[in-house]
Each structure stands twice: as C-alpha cells, then as structure tokens.
Structure 1
C-alpha cells in the first residue's frame, strides 16, 4: 500500500513532464525552440516534437501568406501633381530565425510596422522618380511600377526574415483640396470639346442644307423646263389638230368654235352679254336685232 502511495505521485509527475515535453507543429506553422531566450532548434515540418520541460519554450509563427495594408501617403510624381496613394502587400515569414532575431518578442506587429515603413519608403521612391508622371501611375503602366516596388521592398525585407510576395496599389487619387479644381478643369475641357462638336455638327448641317436647297432649285428648274417643253408640244399638237379639223370641214369647225366661245362667255350664274344684233358672234343664232343672252 505504501509503494502505491509513493508510486502514484511519481507517475503523475512523469506523465505531466512527458506531456510538457511534447508539442505539435501544425502544417500552417513554424516553431522555434528557445532556451533562456536563445534559439536552440527550428521545427518547420508538421508533426510531434519534443522539448525540455521548464527549461525550453516553443514559439510558433504563421507559415501562410499574410496581408498588410499600408497607411495612406501623398506622393509627388515628376509632373508635380500630388497623389494620395495606399497599397497592400502579401508577405510570408521565410526565415524564422532571422525573423526572431530582427523583431524579438515583438512578433508580427513589430514586423508589420517595419515592413510598412519599408513599403512606404519604396512607394515614395518609385512613384517620385524622374520619369514617372501621374498619368503613368494612373495608366496600365502602373503594373511595372508595382513590380518595382515589390522587388525593392523584397530586398530590404530579407533583413527581417520576410519575403514580400506581391504589392498592389489600392487607390491613387488626388488630394481632397485638388479634386474640385481638377473636376472644374475636366468639366471645362469637356464643355469645350462639346462646343467644338456642336460647331462641327452645325457646319455639316449647313452644308447638307445648302446642298439640299441647291438640289431643290435644280429639280424645280428641270421640272419647269420639262413642263414647258410638254406644254409647247401639246400646244403644237392642238394647233395641228385645229388646222386639220379646219381643213376637213371649215363650216363645222367654225360652228364648233362658236359653241366653245358661247360656253366660255356665258359661264357663271349671273353672266350677261349685250352685243350688237349684226355681230358675227350670233351667226349661228340667226338674230336680226340686239338680244340679251343670260
């Protein structure tokens, strides 16, 4: 019984010591085994590992690609148009030993603070270069600039044990105090372009209208010409028909002409005709004195 009493605490201590000496490294992590603050071992492969209880401790670091958003800063390209820029970066801890030596117990917050300073410095340097204008930053060529920022930041971040995977500019806007002036200038340019387009449209419309008026005059003139020709031909044909009719039967022709004259002279409801009775106009009436025909 006494042996059991002594053995049980010993067993508990051994089990506790065994459990305290075991740690598990996740596949998304890397681990450093520290002894009195000094790095004794690096554990990068996932699985079980052992340490000396109470003497050694384990510090875990994320092995995944991490994100960092930089603070908004103002840059001045070569054309002196200030821009408000902020970026985001993707990075990972490439060397946990160098990372620990660089940031100590500060961990990721300290590392991200220093990395943010590196990124901002490189953004100012690259976007403020002599041949870089605001139009270049706002165009598709910004990809080249972002890659340059990434490469230069990666070179400096190696001292922190970090690998900068990618850098992207999130926004490149004008400062608030310059927006109104820029918008007004853009509005004035668009209004000028609109006025030019309207003037060109009016000029083109005037040309079309003048051409249409000319075409109308030419068509009317041509129609009048053709109508006069047709009228002349009709008059000539009528004269020919009258001449042929007169030659065929002179008496009938004179009678027909007289009837036509009567019809034309007495047209209307209140028409009156007073004429001498011996006028040739009444040859076919046989009148011997003046008559009034209504």
Structure 2
C-alpha cells in the first residue's frame, strides 16, 4: 500500500517530464532549441521533436513569406527633382540560427527594423542614380530588381532572404506637385491659345476666300448682265432702225405717243408750249403730222 502511494507521484512526475520533453514543430514555422541561451538544436522539419525538460527552451519563428512596408521615403534622382516613394518587400527567414544570432531576442520586430534601414538605403542609392522620368515610367522592373539585389547581401547577414521588392507609389512632394500642376495648366492654356489663334487664322482665310468668291461671282454676273443688256439694246435699236426704214411716219408716231405717255402723267411738272408747237402735231389731227401741216 505504501509502495503504491509513492509510485503514483513518481509516475506523475515522469509523465510530466516526458510531456515537457516533447514539442511539435508546425509546417509553417521553424524552431530553435536553446540551452541557457545557447542554440543546441535547429528544428526545420515539421513533426515531433525532443528537448531536455526544464533545461532546454524552444523558440519558434515564422517560416512563411513575410511582408515589410517601407514608409514614405524622399529620394533625389539625377535631375534633382525630388520624389516621394512608397515601397514594400517580401522576405523570409532563410537561416534561423544566423537570424537568432543577429537579432537576439528581438525576433521579427527587431529584424524588420534593421531590414527597413537596409531597404531605405538601397532605394535611395538606386533611385538616386537615375532620372525622375525613369522612376515615374511604367517600366520600373529593372529598378526594383536592382534594389532587391542590393539588399540581398546585407539581409543575408541577418539570416533573411529578400524575395521581392516593389515600388507602390512615386509622387512629387506636395509643393512640387502644385508647381508641376501650375506648369501643366499654363502649358495647356498656351496650347489652347495657339489652337484658338490657328482656328481664327483659318476662319479669316475662309472668310476672305468666300468674300473673294462673292465679288467674283457678282462681277461675273454683272458683266454677263451688261452683255445681255447691251445685246438687247442693240437688238431693240436694230428693230427700231428697221421699222424706221420701212415707215418713217409710223416710227415718229410711236415716238410721239411714248413722249405723250411720259410727259402727261399725273404729278409731272406743267408744260408751257405754244399751240403750234410740233409736240402737238398728233393731237391736232387724226391724220398725223402730214394732215396737221
């Protein structure tokens, strides 16, 4: 009875010791076994692992690809046109033992602080060696590759592997942005003024051509009218001449009738003539001028 009473606590202690010696490594992580702060084992394969109870300590680190946001950074390209750049990088812990030695107990947070400094330095160095047009262009893959390659060596000293670097935003500072907008606005206004001036010039040419065409058409029409009018007058005079040649008395009678019609209209001025004036020859006698004589 007494032996069974002592055996039970021993079994409990042994079970606790065995359980504390076993730990599980998840597939998404790596683990270090530390003994008095010194690395004694590295566990990178998922599954069960063992350590000394109480003495050993297990530290776990994420084995997945992680992201680091690099906050707004001001860079000065070759053309001294300052830019504000936002970037981010993707990395993973490649060498967990080197990582532990480099950051100690700081973990991921401490590593990211140091990686952020590396990324900022590399971004300034690479973007400072090209013009702002190269940075603002849509084809920036070569620049991002240079930043990543430059950061790889320094990040390896932290046990990190830099997988990718991306530039998210490249803008002008606010003051420069407003000045740039003002220049763009002035440029567009100048182009608009040039277009308006060219339009006015074209309109003037069209109006001048239309006025010239109008004058030419009117002149041509008046010329043709004068020609027709002259031909008509010539034909009329020929008819009169022919009629006069056939019957001079009838021609003179016709002319006298026209003279009476034009002179005896209402509202005309009064005529003061002697009764025996030749103007009344065809009014005195129905026989005409000869009968009146």
Same fold per superposition (TM over 0.5)? yes
Q: Give the aligned partner of residue 115 of structure 1.
A: 115
Counterpart pick for 1:165 among 160, 163, 166: 163
Q: Give the aligned partner of residue 142 of structure 2.
A: 144
Distance 1:255 1:5 in 2: 174
Q: CA deviation at 1:164?
A: 1.6
Q: CA deviation at 1:117?
A: 0.8
User: Cα deviation per residue 1:172-191 (whole Å; 9 max; x = unaligned)?
Assistant: 33334544544444444444
SS at match of 1:154: helix
Whether the aligned pair in 2 keeps the contact of 1:89 and 1:166 (CA below 8 Å) is: yes
Distance 2:12 2:233 in 1: 141
What number of residue pairs does the alignment pair up? 284
Q: CA deviation at 1:89?
A: 1.5
Distance 1:252 1:7 in 2: 172
Q: CA deviation at 1:100?
A: 1.8
Q: Give the aligned partner of residue 291 of structure 1.
A: none
Deviates more, 1:228-237 or 1:242-251: 242-251
After the TM superposition, which residues 1-294 of structure 1 pair with which residues of structure 2 at under 5 Å, given as runs?
Answer: 5-46=5-46, 48-52=47-51, 53-129=53-129, 132-239=130-237, 263-265=261-263, 270=267, 274=271, 276=273, 285-286=283-284
Q: 1:257 to 1:171 in 2, by over 3 A?
A: same
Q: CA deviation at 1:70?
A: 1.7
Q: CA deviation at 1:133?
A: 1.8
Q: CA deviation at 1:49?
A: 1.1
Distance 1:282 1:123 in 2: 121
Distance 1:261 1:16 in 2: 153
Q: 1:93 to 1:272 in 2, by over 3 A?
A: same
Q: CA deviation at 1:198?
A: 3.6
5+ residue gaps, structure 1:
289-294
Aligned Cα root-mean-square deviation (Å): 3.5
Whether the aligned pair in 2 keeps the contact of 1:77 and 1:133 (CA below 8 Å) is: yes
Q: CA deviation at 1:287?
A: 6.1
Distance 1:282 1:157 in 2: 134
Distance 2:195 2:128 in 1: 38
Q: 1:264 to 1:153 in 2, by over 3 A?
A: farther
SS at match of 2:71: coil
Q: Give the aligned partner of residue 292 of structure 1.
A: none
Distance 2:282 2:10 in 1: 166
SS at match of 2:78: coil
User: Cα deviation per residue 1:16-62 (whole Å; 9 max; x = unaligned)?
Assistant: 3444334333333222333333333333343x312223233322222
Distance 1:21 1:260 in 2: 147
5+ residue gaps, structure 2:
287-293
Distance 1:165 1:4 in 2: 61
Q: 1:128 to 1:270 in 2, by over 3 A?
A: same
User: Cα deviation per residue 1:256-277 (whole Å; 9 max; x = unaligned)?
Assistant: 666655555555x645764755
Q: 1:32 to 1:254 in 2, by over 3 A?
A: farther
Deviates more, 1:21-30 or 1:66-75: 21-30
